[in-house]
Structure 1
Amino acid sequence: MAFEQVRYRPLASRVLAALTVVVCTIGVIALVVIDVGEALRYGWPLLLIAVLVWAMFWRPELIVAEHGITVVNVFRTEFVPWPSIIMVDTKWSLTVRTPSRVIRVWATPAPGRHRLLGLSRSDFTGLGETARGAHGSLRPSDALSVPSGNLAQLIRFRWERLAETGALDAGADPTAEKTTWHAATIAATAALAAATVIGIVA
């Protein structure tokens, strides 16, 4: 039976990104209407903010699929096959460790302390042994009722089942891991940052 793919993109972050881009767009249009010269000077910071917010809050996602996980972060996308995973952590954000890399999932930061108030034992029911730290301890961010813990459990469950069936016995193949840099986003950010500085100091 094929594994059902799960795709996670935080809705609140995407709403924030969409609203910010709309506000920046309106700002640029207003500058153009009022004074084209001023728009050419001060419109760049608004465009830079729009691109950065889109990259930081709209783009990030996590895809858990049959052959591995794909982590889409701000400036790069990383594919990690199941045999390459050696640890899944939630200390600061959902983090996947391989023999050579530490990959933090931008889409799933650890929840704030207010979100963690009111957690009970039932929020940790069903967590596997790989979720436990020293002396069997669990982090609040591992709770199944918060995104970081829920997605960590999803990854751990698939990873543990594959290990039990011997599917990971061949070990990690470093060449199977893949990193793709978001060249267009990096170039646009650099260009807009330069234009912003030039516009301000000119």
Structure 2
Amino acid sequence: MAHGLDLIGERWALLIVRELLLGPKRFTHLRAGLPGASPDVLSQRLRQLQESGVVRHRKLPPPVGVPVYELTEWGMGLEPIVTGLGRWAGSSPSLPRDAPIGVDSLVLSLKALFDPHVAGDAEIAAGLRLAEDEFRVIVAGGEIALARGADGHPDMTLDTDPATFASLLRGTRSLAEAAAGGDLRVDGDMGTAERFVAFFRRPVPHPSARNTTPPSPG
């Protein structure tokens, strides 16, 4: 555990891992996902993660041909740690539940919020269009898989903005309300879309973490 924290315990390191879990990114796209990290700090963390074997830097093949950062196969093993930490933090009483959230963070939160007991034996291939980003979400056998990019034949697609999608996951808006307000378009069956959104459990503060301030002396 101590060695693991030596590798990924520096500020921004695990968040860089989070940004790369859905696929390679250019440096500029990493900066967009981590606006609080300066270019110098981000470059330093990327060098450290490369030296430790978590991240690699390579050039995409033609016709793209741009340099990107991506997780190594070993680095991808951090995915359950990132998901588990997010799930645990979701039960924090001090979590800023209305704070802005990046697109990749929002999509990755689906794994932390996914309730396999509610999903049961459902099989749904969903598409997500969040502003300029597209993702595919596959639910089958009580498990969920995420990937960047469009699916050729999804059962339904939610076309919206990140803030609206976050409100659907938080339960502060319904699909019908968002669609009626013009903030959401459902391509496909609305019933399937409603069933899909219900697979994700809204995080609530854990009872044992409340009122933990020790009493004042005397």
Range into which the TM-score falls when normalised by the shorter chain:
under 0.3
Specify the structure having the higher radius of gyration (Cα): 1
Which protein is richer in helix relative to its size? 1
Greater relative contact order, per chain length (Cα 8 Å cut-off, separation 6+): 1
TM-score by length of 1: 0.24
